[in-house]
Homo-oligomer: A and B are copies of this chain.
Amino acid sequence: MSVNIFGRVLRFTTWGESHGPALGAVVDGCPPRLPLTEADIQPLLDRRRPGTSRFTTQRNEPDQVRILSGVFEGQTTGTPISLMIENTDQRSKDYSEVADSYRPGHADYAYDAKYGFRDYRGGGRSSARETAARVAAGAVARKIVGDVQIRAWVAEIGGDAIDPARFDAAQIALNPFFCPDPVAAARWETLVDSARKAGSSLGAIVECEARHVPAGWGAPVYGKLDADLAAAMMGINAVKGVEIGDGFAAAALRGEDNADPMQPGADGVEFTANHAGGIAGGISTGQPVRVRVAFKPTSSILVPVPTVNRAGEAARIRTKGRHDPCVGIRGAPVVEAMMALVLADHFMLHRAQCGA
Contacts and interface: CB of A to CB of B under 8 A. Distances in A.
A8 B349 CA distance: 11
A69 B248 contact: no
Interface stretch (A35-43, A44-52, A268-276): A268-276
A101 B102 CA distance: 55
A88 interface: no
Contacts of A321: none
A51 to B, nearest CB: 20
Interface in A1-47: 1-11, 13-17, 20-24, 26, 28-33
A230 B254 contact: no
Interface in A290-337: 294-301, 303, 305-308, 312-314, 328
A92 interface: no
Contacts of A232: 227
Contacts of A110: 215-216, 218, 279-285
A111 B252 CA distance: 27
A232 B11 CA distance: 20
A233 interface: yes
B2 A264 contact: no
Given A2-B28, A77-B125, A301-B255, A33 B308 contact: no
Contacts of A226: 234-235, 240
A15 B221 CA distance: 10
A1 B82 CA distance: 17
B294 A223 contact: no
Interface in A53-112: 66, 68-70, 72, 75, 77-82, 102, 104-107, 109-111
